[in-house]
Every structure is written in C-alpha cells, then in structure tokens.
C-alpha cells in the first residue's frame, strides 16, 4: 500500500510564527512551515488536528493568506460552544506544534476568471477569510472587485483596517451591513440592519459593470448565503457564475440514492497502530466489511471498528478522505476535493456509497 499511502492530502507539522488579534473574538494565526514545500490556492483550507481534554478534534479553517505570502495564515473566530475555536483562542500562545493536513477545497478563484471578469464577494462574519485571500490575489484587473459584507458592528468586522485601506486606494468597492440594533451611520456604503433583496440587487446593479458576466463568491452563515443566492437568482446570474463555500453543515440525502437494495461487500485496506513496550508499531491491515443499502462507507467502517478520521460528516471538511482503488462509488456531496483529487481516486467516506460489489478502498 506504499504507493497509495503517498497519494492524497499531505500532512505537516508547523510551528507558530505569530498571532494577530483581529477583533475581540478573532485571531489570525501565522504558521512557520520550517521551509517544508507547500502549495495551495486562494479560497482553499486546511484541517487542524488537536487533542482537547482527551478528545481528538479535527476542524477546517480557510487560508486568509495567499500563496505568495511567506507564512500561511488562517483566521479563527470564537464560536459559542465550539470546542476547537475556544481552545485555540484560549491556548494558542502555548501550542508549540500544529498537526496540519492540507490543502482542501474546490472553492478557489481561478486566474482566468480573476483576469477577465469582475469579482463580487458576498460575505458574513468569519466567512470573509477565503474571500479575503481571493481579494488579495487579484492583480492587474481593470475591474474593481465588489465586497458585500455583513457584521454586527465595525469593531467586530474582521480585516476592517485592511479593507478600508483597499477601498481608500480605489482597489475595492464595499457595501457593509451592520446588524447591531443601535448602529447608526451616515455613510453611503453602510446599511443599518440586515441586507434585503432590494438593497442587494440595487448595490450589485450600481457597482457591477456587467452583472451577468461577473463571478460571485459567497461564504458565511447559511441563512445569509441563501439570501445572497436569492438576490443573484433575481438578477438572472448564470448558475456557473455563482460559487459557494459552506461553513455550516450541508448534509447529503441518502434517501434519494438509487441502489439495488443489496448488501455490498467492500475490501478496506487501512493502518493500525499498536504499542509494544511503549514503542508504536504500525501495521497494514485488510478487512472485508458489509455495507448496508444506503449506508455510507464511513458509517460501515465505524460499525466494523475500523478507525477513520472524521469531523463534519457532510462532505465539507475532507477529514475522512480515502483512495478508491477499484469498483464504483457515488459521492452525494463534495465540498472538499478538487477535480484532480477525484481523478486520482480520492473519495470522501462520509458521502460515498458503494454501487457494485467490486469496491476496494484504502484509508489514510
């Protein structure tokens, strides 16, 4: 399985270079890769693996840096009840090494689009992170990008100073929505209260040269993303010009999956760690497991006590990637893999269902 082991996402151990406080509940964490070769695209993300109170956690964070930056960076906002975000914000200064897996994601700003089309970025809260990376990567464009961005207050707006500087330099047009009940402003690009369809469509028509030709990148809370999409639908934006990145779960629906109703036998190759005299030994293992109709490969493997890394269980984080070496599977939702990943046989176990009796999978 050595060839398979070298395929797929890469794992790294990085150190902290510096930590910048963006707002009261948000930091940007810059990593020192210690000159390890690493490439990614604006809009992609990484997974961090941390053990918190004895529990292994895996969480995804978008790069807020661009590949030309010396140090890769992610921006983390404290989430109420969030185990990982709270732990990192409370302990980042004391974490010496970060276990990283990257890069993931097909939500990227492709160079031909950036060069030939006007870019419209629609964000909410920490959803600005991948969009900020895209914004910084736009070069030599004669079409000024538009950012539509919703937050509670200016003080809680991530990258406020940087965005204001870009707007002052006429490198960016911005329309803000501030939802705090007591917010008041006389600035023309400030909306007091939540965005609505009328305001969104008006802003886009006023600041976008060719509305139908522009490309639209959306990231934020699901409800706000739905509002943005509704606004674009009303402007008859082509579907392939709307690009989405969900931070919140978007579950696949196995109920709509057409199967022959039979149990499938699947061969699983995996690695198991054992400790002998406190020394770790890693063994290659193979199991034949039964997968019930409309049961995901991830759920079936866990039923058979095969240890598989997983986190979101909705095809977004990429933690449960594996390599399909034979047979046919169907993925219901993919928010993590690129076309090249899929061409190499990489699948997401939480979204993958065997379609025939020849499926063979190698787990990372």
Domain ranges of the chain: 2-104, 111-246, 254-363
Question: d(Cα 237, Cα 229) in Å, to the nearest integer?
Answer: 9
Please check the confidence at residue 2 and state whether its pLDDT lies above 60.
Answer: no
Question: d(Cα 12, Cα 296) in Å, to the nearest integer?
Answer: 28
Provide the pLDDT confidence category of residue 156 given band limits of 50, 70 and 90.
very high
Provide the pLDDT confidence category of residue 1 given band limits of 50, 70 and 90.
very low
Compute the average pLDDT of residues 285-296.
95
Neighbours of 222 (CB within 10 A): 13
Please check the confidence at residue 49 and state whether its pLDDT lies above 80.
Answer: yes
CATH of 111-246 among 3.10.20.30, 1.10.420.10, 1.10.260.30, 3.40.50.80: 3.40.50.80
Please check the confidence at residue 9 and state whether its pLDDT lies above 70.
Answer: no
- The phi, psi pair for 109, rounded to 5°, reads -95, 110
Question: d(Cα 185, Cα 227) in Å, to the nearest integer?
Answer: 23
Neighbours of 141 (CB within 10 A): 14
Provide the pLDDT confidence category of residue 139 given band limits of 50, 70 and 90.
confident
Q: What is the pLDDT of residues 56-94, one digit of tens each?
A: 899 999 999 999 999 999 999 999 999 999 999 999 999
8 Å CB contact between 318 and 360: no
Q: What is the pLDDT of residues 187-214, one digit of tens each?
A: 999 999 999 999 999 999 999 999 999 9
Q: What is the mean pLDDT of the chain?
A: 92
> According to the model, what pLDDT value does residue 249 have?
58
Of residues 27 and 273, more confidence is placed in 27
Helix ranges (H only) for the chain are 2-5, 83-91, 111-116, 128-137, 160-168, 197-207, 222-234, 297-303, 339-343
Compute the average pLDDT of residues 23-50.
94
Provide the pLDDT confidence category of residue 322 given band limits of 50, 70 and 90.
very high
CATH code at 2-104: 2.40.30.10
Please check the confidence at residue 358 and state whether its pLDDT lies above 60.
Answer: yes
Compute the average pLDDT of residues 143-165.
97
Q: Are strands 146-151 and 173-178 parallel, antiparallel or unpaired?
A: parallel
Residues facing residue 151 across a β-bridge = 178
> According to the model, what pLDDT value does residue 252 have?
58
In this prediction the pTM is 0.84
Q: What is the pLDDT of residues 215-259, one digit of tens each?
A: 999 999 999 999 999 999 999 999 999 999 987 756 556 766 878
The CATH T-level fold of domain 254-363 is: Ubiquitin-like (UB roll) (3.10.20)
């Amino acid at each position: 399985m050595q060839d398979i082991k070298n395929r797929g996402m890469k794992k790294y151990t990085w150190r902290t270079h510096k930590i910048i406080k963006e707002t009261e509940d948000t930091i940007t964490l810059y990593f020192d890769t210690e000159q390890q070769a690493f490439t990614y695209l604006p809009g992609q993300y990484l997974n961090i693996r941390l053990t918190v109170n004895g529990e292994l956690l895996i969480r995804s964070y978008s790069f807020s840096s661009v590949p030309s930056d010396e140090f890769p960076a992610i921006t983390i906002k404290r989430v109420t009840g969030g185990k990982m975000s709270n732990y990192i914000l409370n302990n980042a200064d004391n974490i010496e090494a970060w276990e990283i897996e990257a890069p993931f994601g097909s939500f990227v700003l492709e160079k031909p689009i950036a060069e030939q089309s006007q870019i419209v970025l629609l964000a909410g809260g920490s959803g600005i992170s991948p969009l900020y990376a895209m914004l910084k990567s736009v070069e030599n464009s004669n079409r000024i990008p538009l950012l539509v961005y919703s937050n509670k207050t200016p003080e809680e707006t991530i990258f406020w100073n940087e965005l204001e500087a870009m707007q002052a330099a006429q490198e960016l047009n911005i329309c803000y929505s501030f939802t705090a009940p007591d917010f008041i402003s006389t600035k023309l690009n400030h909306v007091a209260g939540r965005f609505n369809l009328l305001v969104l469509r008006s802003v886009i028509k006023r600041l976008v040269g060719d509305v139908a030709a522009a490309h639209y990148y959306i990231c934020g809370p699901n409800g706000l993303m739905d509002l943005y999409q509704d606004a674009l639908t009303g402007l008859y934006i082509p579907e392939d010009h709307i690009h989405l990145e969900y931070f919140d779960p978007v579950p696949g629906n196995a109920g709509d999956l057409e199967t022959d109703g039979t149990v499938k036998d699947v061969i699983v190759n995996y690695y198991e760690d054992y400790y002998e005299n406190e020394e770790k030994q890693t063994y290659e293992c193979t199991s034949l497991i039964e997968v019930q109709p409309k049961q995901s490969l991830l759920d079936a493997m866990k039923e058979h006590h095969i240890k598989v890394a997983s986190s979101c269980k909705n095809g977004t984080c990429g933690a449960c990637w594996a390599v399909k070496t034979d047979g046919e599977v169907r993925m219901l939702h993919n928010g993590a893999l690129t076309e090249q990943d899929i061409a190499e046989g990489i699948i997401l176990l939480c979204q993958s269902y065997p379609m025939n009796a020849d499926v063979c999978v190698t787990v990372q």
